[in-house]
Amino acid sequence: MRRGATARIRRALLGVAIVGLLGGPLAACTAPPPARRDVVIGLSGEPTSIFGGEPAALVLAAAVTEELVRRNERDEYVPRLAVEVPTLENGALRFVLDDPTAPTGRLVATFRLRADLRWHDGAPLTTDDVAFAWQRERTLPSGLPARFLADRVDRVEVLTDRVVRFHYRAGERWDGYPLAARVLPKHRLASATAAQWALYEREPVHAGPFAVAAWLPGYGVTLSAFPGYALGAPGLGRLEVRFYSDRGAVVDALRRGEVDVVPSPVFEADLVRTLDGIADGSDRSRLQALYTAGEAVEMLHFATRGLRFGDVLVRRAVELAVDRQAIVDLLLAGRARVPRDYLVPPLWAATVSGQVARPDRDAARALLARAGFSRGAFGILERGGQRMVLLLLVEAGSPVRIDAARLVAGDLAAVGIAVEVRERPLSELLATLRRGDWDLALLVRPAEDPVAASLPWLGLTDPWFDLVVGAAGAAPDRTEQRLAWAEAQRLWAADLPGLPLYQRLAVDVAPRGLEGVRPAPGGAALTWNVAEWRFAAP
């Protein structure tokens, strides 16, 4: 064999040897597949817009929008677009007494924005956008959460492009003051027409961790990560939100593995056995159901100014007739709490003003007799020719709420009160309450803010209640505020303008490998901190 050929063979063999030496370890150390960077969220129903206020809309809004300050899962205020939460300790919150327009004093908070904030379209976000949001939201219809926040503020003062000062209403020491500072893109909306506003509310440019990439009506929304997000690039790259006709369809999608996350209130605690069965399935063991006591109450309202429930004896009789623990046990697998008051833990202002009354139908009948009612035709109670045949209006959207209303009707029938249950959209129901032509209504009452939670009851109970609520809002610190709120709850429970059926229990479903999912008790959507979600490396 020629020397050149021999050399080529040796070089080839050497190359094979090197490849063999290197290939073994490389093959053994093949890189693991990258962690997932997309999540599919299943919702029941399609919202009218991201700012629509429906539960599905809140899930989208929490991912797309951002505020200066939000609540976290421990109900604490945390800075988002702001550098810090203004407090008395850091000097950014003051209570001024030298303002001639506020003889009882005024709360003043100074917010500093983070540097180099940007909207989704790349435009700079400044304090002009903060002032613009307040000016816009103070013109919204009364009763909306944004309008409630704006109404607590007297004026907004822009000091620099990063420093803005909020002057709150005279005499008010409102614990929720940081939430009033919100943002809207002035450069897009200052001269927007009604049609442009409607388009914006459907696909807004905002400052949240995700931006709307596409909205396909009847199907879903794709949200893409915003790399310029104030708190750092999100851990996920995309959120796929899917709309389903009802919660049954969402359950089916979960079983098929089409959906990763289902946020409250799509599911309620009546599905606990179904959800546990899905989670225990072979390839579904990756799922977990998270149960969180919410700061909200399913409340049976009495028309206290009406002929039937203007008498507290009648309201007490209903309290003794309705077996609320049985409702919780039957519909919610015993997981929810039956509250005594309209404020509930973990809200800092909540206290327990007494024991929850146990059902006693004989005592209920005795109270109704004392109120002047006697049995008439078909066993229905009558007084002065007026029969106790009532209409119970129920806020639509919750199968559990409808079932609870029917159980209430059954319990009242046992003491001679005939009740027909009718489901109504929230807007229609609230309009009926304002008109005053109603007897009973069942709807959820948020309780994450004691002032906001007290507003529906002003003028409907003991006049001292109104005064104590005002004193609680004006108290200088939480110690005095708690004392005032305890008295307000005592007065409320004594007069009983409503009957709390059960405390809302938020039910969220998420993969076990999805880190950062932390339900918040204060009514915030599960996506409040979606920027922190990320899948653990496989």
Q: How far apart are CA 304 and CA 436, in angstroms?
A: 10
For the chain, the domain total comes to 3
pLDDT in tens, 321-338: 999 999 999 998 888 899
Domain end: 126, 155, 189, which one? 189
Query: Strands, DSSP E only, in 72-171?
Result: 77-79, 93-96, 106-112, 153-158, 163-170
Mean pLDDT (the chain) is 88
Does one domain contain both 516 and 501?
A: no
Hey, what are 29's tokens? 């150390």
Q: Are 310 and 414 members of one domain?
A: yes
* Residue 114 resides in a domain: yes
159 belongs to a structural domain:
yes
Max avg pLDDT among 2-16, 309-323, 353-367: 309-323
The first and second tokens of residue 303, run together, are 């028309």
* Same domain membership, residue 258 and residue 129: no
Cis peptide before 399 (omega within 30 of 0): no
Residues 161, 101, single domain; the answer is yes
* Cα 11 versus chain centre, distance: 71
Beta-sheet strands, E only, within 103-160? 106-112, 153-158
Decide if pLDDT at 383 tops 70. Answer: yes
What does the block give as tokens for 271?
């599905």
Reported as a single tens digit per residue, the pLDDT across 137-195 is 999 988 788 898 999 999 999 999 999 999 999 887 778 899 999 999 999 999 999 99
Q: Which domain holds residue 489?
A: 294-505
Helix pair angle (247-256, 272-280), 10° resolution: 10
Task: With 0.75 as the threshold, say if the pTM is over it.
Answer: yes
Q: Return d(Cα 292, Cα 58) in angstroms, integer.
A: 17
Examine the fold and report which residue of 159, 189, 219 is the final residue of a domain before the chain moves on: 189
Would you say 106 and 167 are in contact if contact means Cβ atoms under 8 Å apart? Answer: yes
439 and 348 part of one domain: yes
Instruction: Specify the CATH number for the domain of residue 185.
Output: 3.90.76.10
